[in-house]
Structure 1
Amino acid sequence: MLPPRTVTTPPRRRLRRRAALGALSLAAVCSLLPAASPAAGAQGTPDGGHCAGRALVRVPGAAHQQADCLDELTTAGTVASGHTDPADFAGLTPLDLATPSGVPGIQIDGYFPDSSTTDTNHGWNHDAQFVIRLPDHWNGGLVVSGTPGNREQYANDRAISDWVLSRGYAFAATDKGNTGLTFYRDGRRPGDAIAEWNTRLTQLTRAARAVVTQRYHRPPARTIATGLSNGGYLVRWQLENHPELYDGGVDWEGTLWRSDGPGLLTFLPPALRDYPVYAADGPGAAEALEAMHKAGYPVGSEFLWPYHHQVYWDLTQRIYREEVDPGFDGATEAGAPFCAPGTPGCDADYDYATRPPSVHRAVDRIALTGRIGKPLVTLQGTLDVLLPISQDSDVYARMVHGAGRGALLRYYRIADGTHTDSLVDVFPGKLRPMVPCHRSAFTALERWLSGKGRPPADHTVERPAEADPATLLTDCRLG
């Protein structure tokens, strides 16, 4: 990491570290690609210089905001100054991730009115928190994002914010309105907590566009939505439901919700039932292996299964099932961890297809349709074993084409990519990082939106046979 720069305002109190990071909190970013030219219409530093107009910038609809003038908006400075929370992005990025620097500007932290209190950042204990970063040297564009998993608003700082800020974009992120492993407690009826994620990103996008206009005296020439996992789901939903707010989006292994499946609640229960039998290597192990493959877990991904069984599968199934189907286990909240099949209310026995219509209606409230209204680039790793690709992005791509919107989609299957890039450090010979592929997808979308050429057709991006880890960390050629 490059040394942090000094901020021009006194450093704020360090943000409190959260004890737990949410499930579906995934993959990361890697080292820098060469800087690209600013977006069309870039004007450089506005009149007034460093942090001009900071006292005049107001976030529409915010109940509270704090604007600080920083010499460094990337994590090269914000970690030391207390303008990010490293706990939010812990475990998401490769160890050798390079950090860009040299991005002065304004950071605005705040929150919109909300009744839940799971986000503890700044000691506010208030949800619907956001961060907006306005670089002095602006390229005319705005990038907005919701967080992966159930993390808070700084979770994208290493994966997305650092890189887009270094390219001159303004950046905004939201905590999605609820955080943590008990996010499902928010709302009055099943599905409310996830539905709020969509509402909060729409709210932030509108507010951030207004803030950009205040700061730079003109609206953004381009607004791009991007995000990881749950953040990728938000990109899909926004382009389906509010395409007027965006010019395009990059969906990095977004979560798929469909009222008739497939989805988390259809492929996670087989893993909870069959993986322990396979791992025991006793009677029925061969049949359990076949059942895992049939459920969508790719052949060749077996080396990733122990970690996901311990960390992700059980927890993810229980908390997301509690969100849309709290009645399955009666008064118990989020089931029994690692229960054996046959245990009353055990999520290993969950069968989404047979659940009452009310459960399917709850999922339908947050479901995707494929009817995107702006260009979208989707990418997912072929060795993703949290959201198996055959049950997720493969299906979503077919949905987009089935809805007659295929001309707006480019879909890249990244060979040997997995859901969480930090695992590349554990299995460097078996996995490739996804972050350089996300950056390639982002720059391909930029060219597409600028009329400089359409991205390559949908295909699998193979892992170069002779590429060393350092090369894979910085390069992912889509064409």
Structure 2
Amino acid sequence: MHPFRGVPLRVRGVALRGVALRVRGVPLLAALLTGLTVLGPAAPAGARDSGHCARQHRLDVPGAAHQETACLPDLTTAGLAGTPYTDMADQAGLSAKGTANPSGVPGIQIDGYFPDGSRLNATHGWAHDAQFVIRLPDRWNGGLVVTGAPGTRRQYSTDTLISDQVLAQGFAYAATDKGNTGPDFFTDGREPGDAVAEWNRRVTELTVAAKKAVRQRYGTAPRRTYMTGISNAGYLTRWQLENRPELYDGGVDWEGVLWTTRGPNLLTSLPVTVARHFGAASDEDLVDAGFAPGSRFLWPYHDRAYWGLTQKIFRAEFDPSYDPGCPGATAGSTVERILAPCASDASYDYAARPASVRRAVAKVALTGRIGKPLITLHGDLDALLPIATDSDVYARMVDDRGRGALHRYYTVAGGTHTDGLYDTYPDRLRPILPCYRSAFTALTRWVEAGVAPPADRTLARPAGGDVVNSCALR
């Protein structure tokens, strides 16, 4: 489940070769705040009749500072694993073992980057942020799917979760690293909040460019464009549908991070976990803060792998003056230091911080005012983003804005933040991915055929069957 397995860990551009991959038996999950059954619209006649990698010479991603184009026999991870065209290590821990993915999708892949001054992403040896990947299958269904990296991962991180399945359906696919990556992402930008604000700008930039690349490849613009993502990319989905709805036809938000100016947000929910780490808070304090009592068995793991790290890097992003010495200019130069919480965060009080902190969060805050259909999924045992202080709140925000008719919200019983934990607790958890795939199918039917998805509901944990690959919304 180590997100950097097989590649050197880099902190501020320095490769940490030979670092321990486990801390007291816990894989490094610093990178993450961590089936489709219906085809999209029929492909235009010209696209159906074009040959393998036709028009490859015409592809020029608008605005890109650098791009490399390849004609490949298979754009899925089955064909790309072990090649420079994906990074299986950056996908680690996001899916459960036994996940069934399609393969055999020939087409064109474009890798590149947009102009950017930060250099946290070392993929391809470019040491350049704002990297992207665009995949254009030979057999196109007329649609485009856009996503961003979850957590602080990079552009290939959701290849197994999203890219494989939508490519097999015939969608073109585009993903961005969000403009900054890794546990030192907060060092990007001039002012507090700038690094996360850049995430939204990079998604918009890629969406516009990918639509034009699609037109170059197939001779026509996409008929439908969908935004989607998990965790931080779920947040990106919400933000795009609120602020750039004209670019999309709908989206699926998988446990998106909630940022609101007054709270709740990560900086209001995570300090109590740091206090617990240092013995200054009890388990009951976590329950009072919104963490599900049924997720207690996951807390020791999250204490070692997630909570302290997530609090310190996002506090450094939005409130660097609180403790300039921790994390300082870097989240750490070793795995142990990267994962270690800042002791000062045990007493962090977002409400008591200066107004400048709320202004920084306001740059990226959500409102609930979505402009296109959105489906949200969230696991009731999420131990990083408690459902009670995240998607439950966001669903109310959408309703309060009078946009409830555009929203569906499904609680996944037994779901937690990363599906990889199902392999450790198969008797207590269930993967969310199959529910996500069903939700994406429901979204395309909603948008393209006018078939409304089921009403908001809890998806019960099945007693048997292929839990890893099946999930019905009804």
TM-score, reference length from structure 1: 0.89
1:55 alignment partner in structure 2: 57
**8 A Cα contact 2:278 2:346, kept in partner:** no
Residues 397-436 of structure 1: pairs in structure 2 closer than 5 A: 397-436=395-434
- Higher mean alpha-carbon deviation, 324-333 vs 454-463, is at 324-333
Is the 1:17–1:85 contact (alpha carbons within 8 Å) kept by the matching residues of 2? Answer: no
How far apart, CA to CA, are the structure 2 residues paired with 1:339 and 1:193?
21
Sort the Cα spacing of 1:332 and 1:339 in 2 relative to 1 into closer, same or farther, 3 A: closer
- Whether 1:349 and 2:339 are equivalent positions in the alignment is no
Look up the equivalent residue of 1:242 and give its one-letter code.
Answer: R
Could you tell me how far 1:141 is from its partner in structure 2?
0.4
Cα distance in 1 between the residues matched to 2:341 and 2:74: 48
Cα distance change on mapping 1:367 and 1:299 into 2, 3 Å:
same
What is the alpha-carbon distance in structure 1 between the residues aligned to residue 91 and residue 140 of structure 2?
25
1:273 to 272, 275, 283: 275
* 1:419 shift after superposition: 0.2
Kindly provide the CA deviation profile for residues 87-125 of structure 1, in whole angstroms up to 9, marking residues without a partner as x. 221221112122311100000000000000111111111
Query: What is residue 20 of structure 2 aligned with on the other side?
Result: none
CA distance in 2, matches of 1:382, 1:43: 45
Correspondence for 1:127:
129
Matched, 1:319 2:345: no
Distance 1:183 1:302, change over 3 A: same
Q: Say yes or no: does 1:474 pair with 2:473.
A: no
TM-superposed CA distance for 1:288, in Å, is 1.6
Rounded Cα–Cα distance in structure 2 between residues aligned with 1:339 and 1:54: 48
**Structure 2 match to 1:295:** 289
Out of 355, 363, 368, which is 1:370 matched to? 368
Q: Are 2:33 and 2:306, in contact at CA under 8 Å, matched by a contact in 1?
A: no
Secondary structure of 1:96 counterpart: coil
* Residue of structure 2 equivalent to 1:443: 441
The amino acid that maps onto 1:361 is: R
Query: Residue 145 in 1 paired to residue 139 in 2?
Result: no
Does structure 2 conserve the Cα–Cα contact (< 8 Å) formed by 1:22 and 1:181? Answer: no
Counterpart of 1:162 in structure 2 is 164
Give the aligned residue type for 1:208.
A
Residues 100 and 44 (structure 1), Cα distance of their counterparts in 2 relative to 1, 3 Å cut: farther
Q: C-alpha displacement at 1:18, in angstroms?
A: 4.5
Deviations 1:45-66 (A, max 9, x none): 4444000010111100000101
1:26: how far off?
5.9
Q: 1:404 to 1:18 in 2, by over 3 A?
A: farther
Contact 2:111 2:131 in 1 (8 A): yes
Does residue 80 of the first structure (1) align with residue 82 of the second (2)?
yes
Q: Does 1:25 align with 2:22?
A: no
Which amino acid in structure 1 is aligned with residue 244 of structure 2?
H
Conserved in 2, the CA contact under 8 Å of 1:16 and 1:122? no
Shift of 1:451: 2.7
The amino acid across from 1:478 in the alignment is L
- Corresponding residue for residue 281 of structure 1: none
State the one-letter code of the partner of 1:443: T
Moved more, 86-95 or 294-303: 86-95
* 2:464 partner letter: A
Counterpart secondary structure, 1:195 = helix
Instruction: Give the match's secondary structure for 1:262.
Output: coil
Q: In the superposition, relative to structure 1, how do residues 331 and 289 fare at CA in structure 2: closer, same or farther (>3 Å)?
A: closer
- The verdict on how the C-alpha distance between 1:41 and 1:101 changes in structure 2, with shifts beyond 3 A counting, is closer
Partner of 2:138: 136
Counterpart amino acid of residue 446 in structure 1: T
Q: How far off is 1:266 after superposition?
A: 0.6
Name the aligned partner's letter for residue 436 of structure 2: H
**Which residue among 220, 231, 236 is the counterpart of 1:234?**
236
How far has the Cα of 1:462 moved from its partner? 1.0
Q: CA deviation at 1:142?
A: 0.2
What letter corresponds to residue 446 of structure 2 in structure 1? W
**CA separation of 1:339 and 1:448: change in aligned 2, threshold 3 A:** closer
Q: 2: CA distance between counterparts of 1:22 and 1:177?
A: 20
Distance in 1 of aligned mates of 2:446 and 2:397: 22
Check conservation: 1:16, 1:121, Cα contact below 8 A: no
Q: Is residue 2:200 matched to residue 1:198?
A: yes
Contact 1:43 1:138 in 2 (8 A): no
Equivalent position amino acid for 1:19 in 2: L
Q: Which secondary structure state, in structure 2, belongs to the residue aligned with residue 301 of structure 1? A: helix
- Return the alpha-carbon distance in structure 2 between the equivalents of residues 177 and 318 of structure 1: 20
Cα deviation, residue 403, structure 1? 0.8
| 1:453 pairs with 2:437 | no
Q: 2:322 aligns with which of 320, 328, 335?
A: 328
1:237 is displaced (CA, Å) by 0.3
Give the alignment's TM-score, normalised by structure 2: 0.90
Residues 43/476 of structure 1: CA separation in 2 closer, same or farther (3 Å cut): farther
Task: Classify the secondary structure of the residue corresponding to 2:322.
Answer: helix
Q: Any stretches of 5+ residues in structure 1 without a counterpart?
A: 1-14, 28-32, 278-283
SS of the residue 1:367 aligns to: coil
- The amino acid that maps onto 1:411 is Y
- After alignment, is 422-431 or 43-52 more displaced? 43-52
> 2 CA distance for matches of 1:477 and 1:78?
30
Contact 1:109-1:129 at 8 Å conserved across structures: yes
CA deviation after TM superposition for structure 1 residue 291, in Å:
1.0
Identical amino acids, percent of aligned pairs: 57
Q: Distance in 1 between matches of 2:32 and 2:327?
A: 21
When residues 478 and 122 of structure 1 are mapped into structure 2, their CA distance, relative to the original with a 3 A threshold, is same
**Do the aligned partners of residues 43 and 106 (structure 1) sit closer, same or farther apart at CA in structure 2, a change above 3 Å counting?**
same
What's the counterpart of residue 12 of structure 1? none
Number of residues paired by the alignment? Answer: 445
CA gap 1:103/1:35 in 2 versus in 1, 3 angstroms: farther
Structure 1 residues 102-121: aligned runs within 5 Å: 102-121=104-123
Q: Give the Å deviation of 1:36.
A: 2.5
Q: 1:182 aligns with which of 181, 184, 203?
A: 184
Q: Which amino acid aligns with 2:32?
A: S
User: Following the alignment from structure 1 to structure 2, what is the Cα–Cα distance between the partners of residues 181 and 367?
Assistant: 21
SS in 1 for 2:467: helix
Q: Distance in 1 between matches of 2:30 and 2:243?
A: 25
The CA deviation string for residues 303-357 of structure 1, in whole angstroms up to 9 with x for no partner, is 00011000000000000000000000034435887568xx5xx111111010000
Q: State the 4+ residue runs in structure 1 displaced beyond 6 angstroms.
A: none
